[in-house]
Structure 1
């Protein structure tokens, strides 16, 4: 233990003043304009990268801060928009743990709404560039109050296969679906009471490392409807997911239990999913609603 004997009176105050003057804390604050938009309860913070922000800004760290529901704006995902090479706009997807995803179905619809509200012609974002290629976005009506957007994820279905993994010592059957993002789908007759715990265990299962995996539980209602619960990697349980709903529908089609055009029923709302087996295109149709907008003060 080290004991320090402090001088008394004015000399002590002067010593403290000198010490404090030698301590310098560099804190930079960036004012980041954002919009918060949700699709079926899946909420996104959307920012434009080129608006006076440094090129070396760590967007993964920013995602952790801005998506925090207690200390930030609060969102399931951060979406950024910048100039594209093969389309006017390039969209990137950041999870709240700082990791990146390749594509987002709900996010694409929300970005389309954001660009529409900013005054861009729908022709300019008919295609939006992502790290996995171009995705289509079509405004189905001009009513912002009840806006519906149809997203064409394109030829994103890379792989569908059955897998058996060990979960707490027992064999569990899943259908692995790669549609730009990896998904493990469990088709069930009844949702497990501990589906969130199972989702977490499957996400971090050794067979899916290091990328981890999104997890969906699907209960087929009839040939045209499926109920879906979503555990999103890097996020946790979410009210809905466009790619998650798509993966569940594709898994059920693969299992011969669902038609190529079906409704995915989730806690946050319903999405229409359609798979064109000839062109190999995957379509997602659903709403996108603005929650609010403002400025986030980001301290680094």
Structure 2
């Protein structure tokens, strides 16, 4: 038996999406890794399964390319909102979010960020606005949980950071019991941030929606930018606003690249 899927992306952060609201789907970590493989599978940064939910319009489950299931993905949330259509309430492991589909993407209410050291989580208590830690040139990060955990480093030039080398070192540091997404950001103006992201379980990515949200909020907490900014990633721009009700709203594109069918048993 084959299953239909969508190949979608948000600014180049790409997904294999299965709509399992009517026909339940169980996948193993090995199957996820095989499907995500860019040489012998379909290829993707994350695999998404849309399921039924008794507390929302749908439940979104997310697996990184390494086969690990994670709590949240901002770019995938926009894609799922496009699939569901109109105004969608989406249950995730990181909480319930709301999305409004647009002509070429979606606007997502990502909920309220969390800043407690135990909410990130961090292995022991510390100030999360000015963390007294560093890895070579990357120092003094901000920690934010926006459904998944992020460390944000502000640097003069994002391209000058060897993120492909330092990213996995920081991701797997014992300081972060659930591992961490690593963001390096440069402030362009009060309304503009440049960002590169090492994504937990996926590696360097062209775009990371939750990373853009976490970085914008981190910069706002430090007084570096205003409450609405454009975040430029290698794949393009996202608009991030931190509203007065403490909720983060992310707006950006979501694109269907192609549709297909896959024999899941071939990837068992």
| Separation in 2, partners of 1:271, 1:52 | 33
Is 1:175 matched up with 2:132?
Answer: no
What's the CA shift for 1:196?
Answer: 1.9
Is 1:233 matched up with 2:200?
Answer: yes
**Number of corresponding residues:** 254
TM-score (norm 1): 0.80
Structure 1 unaligned residues grouped into runs of 5+: 1-29, 117-121
Max Rg structure: 1
Is 1:128 matched up with 2:90?
Answer: yes
Q: Pairwise mapping of residues 243-282 of structure 1 onto structure 2 (< 5 A)?
A: 243-276=210-243, 278-282=244-248
Check 1:283–1:53 CA distance in 2 against 1; reply closer, same or farther (3 A cut).
Answer: closer
| Separation in 2, partners of 1:219, 1:137 | 28
Is 1:284 matched up with 2:250?
Answer: yes
| Separation in 2, partners of 1:63, 1:151 | 26
Is 1:43 matched up with 2:9?
Answer: no
Q: Which digits, 9 at most, give the CA deviation of each residue in 1:80-106, with x for residues without a partner? A: 111111112111111111111111111
Is 1:139 matched up with 2:114?
Answer: no
- Matched residue SS, 1:246: helix
Aligned mate of 1:153, from 94, 110, 120 = 110
Is 1:198 matched up with 2:160?
Answer: no
Contact 2:229-2:241 at 8 Å conserved across structures: yes
Is 1:115 matched up with 2:84?
Answer: yes
| Separation in 1, partners of 2:145, 2:238 | 19
| Separation in 1, partners of 2:39, 2:132 | 38
| Separation in 1, partners of 2:261, 2:132 | 47
Corresponding residue for residue 61 of structure 2: 92
Q: Which digits, 9 at most, give the CA deviation of each residue in 1:163-217, with x for residues without a partner? A: 133425x7822111111100011101122341221112111111013x1100000
What's the CA shift for 1:63?
Answer: 1.6
Contact 2:115-2:143 at 8 Å conserved across structures: no
| Separation in 2, partners of 1:212, 1:254 | 23
Check 1:219–1:196 CA distance in 2 against 1; reply closer, same or farther (3 A cut).
Answer: same
- Matched residue SS, 2:259: strand
| Separation in 2, partners of 1:253, 1:283 | 14
What's the CA shift for 1:49?
Answer: 3.0
- Matched residue SS, 2:55: coil
CA-based RMSD of the aligned residues comes to: 1.8
